[in-house]
Amino acid sequence: MISNKGGFTLIELLVVITILFIIMTMTYLPYAHHQKKTLLKQGAREISQSLSEARNFALHGLDTGAGNLSIGLYFAPGTTQIEYYAYPLNETINEDSLNQDNLYKTKKLPKGIEVDSVGGSTDGYLFNFEAITASGAHMGESEIDIIISYQGSESPVLQKNISYYPKSSISDYK
Confidence (pLDDT) at 100? 87
Residue 5 falls inside a structural domain: no
Pick out the chain residues at pLDDT < 50. none
Q: CATH code at 89?
A: 3.55.40.10
Predicted structure pTM score: 0.78
**How far apart are the C-alpha atoms of 92 and 17, rounded to whole Å?**
66
Domain span at residue 101 reads 11-173
User: 91 with 128: CB under 8 angstroms?
Assistant: no
Q: Does 126 fall in a domain?
A: yes
Q: Is residue 94 part of a domain?
A: yes
Q: What is the pLDDT of residue 131?
A: 81
Domain presence at residue 39? yes
Establish if 65 belongs to a structural domain.
yes
**Residue 6 domain flag:** no
3 in a structural domain? no
pLDDT of residue 31: 82
Q: Structural domain tally of the chain?
A: 1
Q: Is residue 149 part of a domain?
A: yes
Residue 173 confidence (pLDDT): 87
